[in-house]
Amino acid sequence: MTSGTSGPPAGAAHSRRGPGSAVAVVTGAAGGLGQVIAARLHEQGYRVALTDLSGERAERAASALDPSGGTAVGLCLDVRIKADFERVRDAITARWGEVHVLVNNAGVSKAEPLMDITPESFSSVVSTNLDGAFFGSQVFGAYFAGRGHGRIVNVASLAGQNGGTATGAHYAAAKGGVATLTKVFARDLADRGVTVNAVSPGPLDVPAVYEIVGPERIEGMKENIPVGDLLSPRFVADAVALLAAEHAGSVTGACWDVNGGLYMR
């Protein structure tokens, strides 16, 4: 991708969505927040490709939305591998003709003490959270730019903004990188009809938070959140859907915070 171009390449199709024709790819969609995002987009009429490291789990999640496979499909995707994004792009365009939205949601966290994080653990967490956002934005960003229209929404994190280590310093570092990559891709792709934004959640009411924090500490966590409760994954999904909308072209390079008042700026 090269900055400074004035529009899509000569002869490129300027893709606009017809009624019921929008297609979205969501990474890490077999469970948790990714599954909620995929379900919300599907409710809004998108055809959705749910991708995950486990193709079997992705297929089950897709089948829960549409057993026929007409409007939801599950695919295996290792976000650490650029060629996997290219394979998914090609599979979905062959199936549904085009893609309009990419949601880079896939991530992994490990609650490890800062000084005990091994080089292998650091690389593994950063690769999934940061490399995945980079490769996804690179592959689909180029595809969208060639068509003259597209939406990329990255899932960042409060940890990447305030340096929180409850989910691991490697996770916080990677999510800080996701916020920066959002701006980098947004700047590069803005003049080609492609927006790139991020949503940055705090502690969500999802199983992973209960597993990391522990049931005995959840109430204490809620007390430390200004609004007094864990945060709604469905609202995060609504924010993603709004940034993914065709008429959302006025917003790019932004990071929308959903943290219950834990981090105000």
Report pLDDT digits (tens) over 81-115. 999 999 999 999 999 999 999 999 999 998 899 99
Average pLDDT of span 156-160: 95
Domains of the chain, by residue range, sit at 23-200+239-254
Q: Which of the four pLDDT bands, split at 50, 70 and 90, describes residue 173?
A: very high
Lowest mean pLDDT among 2-6, 156-160, 168-172: 2-6
CA atoms within 13 A of residue 194's CA, in its CB half-sphere:
35
* Residue 57: partners with Cβ closer than 8 Å, 6 or more residues away: 30, 31, 74
Residue 22 has pLDDT above 70, yes or no: yes
Write out pLDDT tens, residues 30-42: 999 999 999 999 9
Residue 143 is a catalytic residue: no
* Residue 161: partners with Cβ closer than 8 Å, 6 or more residues away: 176, 179, 200, 257, 263
Residue 15 has pLDDT above 60, yes or no: no
Which of 143, 171, 210, 263 is catalytic? The answer is: 171
23-200+239-254 CATH pick, 3.40.50.720, 3.10.105.10, 3.50.50.60, 3.30.420.40: 3.40.50.720
β strands within 54-108, DSSP E: 72-76, 101-104
pTM of the model: 0.90
- Nearest Cα neighbor of 61 from 46, 45, 72, 77 is 72
Write out pLDDT tens, residues 221-239: 888 999 999 999 999 999 9
Average pLDDT of span 212-225: 84
